[in-house]
Amino acid sequence: MLAKGRCCHQVEYLSKACDIETFAYLATVGVSKNRLVDHQQCFQYPTCVAYNTDLDTYTTRHTNADCIFSMVSTPYKELTDLISQGKTPLISIEKGTDLNTRPRLRVFSRSKNSEYIAISHVCADGLGNPKENALPLCQVLQYSTI
């Protein structure tokens, strides 16, 4: 499991939490190529540190290194207004009205009928932005169905 990229702490946990058959099966399962993270340093700590982020040196990742797309921002005032009202903001991607109009992010209040996806570990996957609520347009388009 370690050779396949699993964390030593995850392997230790699974060895205690699973029966031998389940553990043997999990040992055959590879790690997603989208989540390749180096867990070598985790051996030196009591818990996994591979997803820890140094916000001073962090850079938001584009879908490829040569990308020239700019950032798309979440309307910050609308976002904070909803939070101030005790509501839960959701963010959607609104496509442009034509091919020349960039998609933009729109904020709306969650209702009991809202369907949404929560994305976690955004910094570990390069989708964090410690400076503003914005992502490269290429990343936004990757998660959009438009």
- The site for Zn ion (CB under 5 A) is made up of 7, 39, 42, 48, 50, 62, 67, 69, 136, 138
Sign of the torsion angle spanned by Cα atoms 7, 8, 14, 17: negative
Nearer to Zn ion, 5 or 75 (CB): 5
Helix (H) or strand (E) holding 15: helix 8-17
Smallest separation (angstroms) from Zn ion to the CB of 48: 3
Contact by Cβ (8 Å): 9, 47: yes
In the three-class reduction of DSSP (H, G, I as helix; E, B as strand; rest coil), residue 104 is classed as strand
Least separation in angstroms between residue 24's CB and Zn ion is 21
Question: DSSP character for 130?
Answer: S
- Neighbour tally for 23: CB within 10 Å: 15
Residue 78: C-alpha distances to residues 23, 49, 51, 126 (Å):
47, 34, 30, 25
Q: Looking at beta carbons only, is 23 or 81 nearer to Zn ion? A: 23
Nearer residue to Zn ion within complex by CB, 114 or 130: 130
CA 142 to chain centre: 12
- Give the nearer residue to Zn ion in terms of CB position, either 26 or 48: 48
**C-alpha to C-alpha distance for 142 and 22, rounded to whole angstroms:** 34
In the complex, minimum distance from the CB of residue 104 to Zn ion, in angstroms, rounded to a whole number: 16
Minimum CB–partner distance for residue 49 and Zn ion (Å): 6
Nearest distance, CB of residue 39 and Zn ion, angstroms: 4
Is the Cβ of residue 90 or residue 138 nearer to Zn ion in the bound state?
A: 138
